[in-house]
Amino acid sequence: MTPETEQPDPSRVSEQSEPPRRQVPGIPVGPPRQDSDVDQEAHEALQMKVAMKMVGSAMVFIGFIQVFMSASTGAEISIFPMILYFAGLALWAYSSVRIVVVRYAVIAFSLFCIVAFINIGEVLFWHKYVIYWGTIAMVVYFMFQNPMKPSKPS
């Protein structure tokens, strides 16, 4: 007698080829859904805000480093680092600040400072120190501010 070979059941084969799924609370398991909860325009707007935060922060950092080096060595600088600093501050505020009045106040202040430096045409000693200590105060404020986490309902 020859042993009969069993034909595999198609439903069993697909079950055996899939690894077992482990359910983790809060994390969806399985292939991504085609009908996402976030529409394409909102997703692109979020990506643009993140890019603006990155570019604005980089511009503020590059402008601040030049102001810091000038203030610590006593060297003179052109108005370009100040323009870079305040343009970065305006970009950062537009993408980060949620309160509309504060957002546009920071943007208006930044644009006013840019126009003032272009009109003056030079950076004085006290300008550098106002930027230096103002940036340090802003960093210290955000460093010690605790993020507000929404409470979870029980």
Nearest C-alpha neighbor of 95 from the set 50, 135, 61, 60: 50
Nearest C-alpha neighbor of 52 from the set 89, 92, 109, 84: 92
- CB-based burial of residue 85 (10 Å sphere; 0-12 exposed, 13-18 middle, 19+ buried)? buried
Q: What is the pLDDT of residue 40?
A: 77
Contact yes or no for 78/123 (Cβ under 8 A): yes
- Give the CA distances from residue 133 to residues 107, 118, 122, in Å, rounded to whole numbers and listed in that order: 20, 22, 19
Ordered DSSP codes for 41-96: HHHHHHHHHHHHHHHHHHHHHHHHHHHHHHHHH-----SHHHHHHHHHHHHHHHHH
Question: Can you tell me which residue has the tokens 């859904």?
Answer: 33
- The pTM of the full predicted model, rounded to 2 decimals, is 0.68
Q: What is the pLDDT of residue 145?
A: 76
Encode pLDDT of 94-144 as tens digits: 998 888 999 999 999 999 999 999 999 998 889 999 999 998 998 888 788
Encode pLDDT of 6-17 as tens digits: 665 555 555 555
Q: What is the pLDDT of residue 16?
A: 53
DSSP 122: S
Q: Please give the Cα distance from 113 to 110 (Å, whole number).
A: 5
Element (H, E) at 139: helix 125-143
Selected residue with higher pLDDT from 144 and 85: 85
Q: What is the pLDDT of residue 13?
A: 52
- Confidence grade of residue 150 (pLDDT, cut at 50, 70, 90): low
Contact yes or no for 112/87 (Cβ under 8 A): no
- Confidence grade of residue 30 (pLDDT, cut at 50, 70, 90): low
Q: Please give the Cα distance from 58 to 48 (Å, whole number).
A: 15
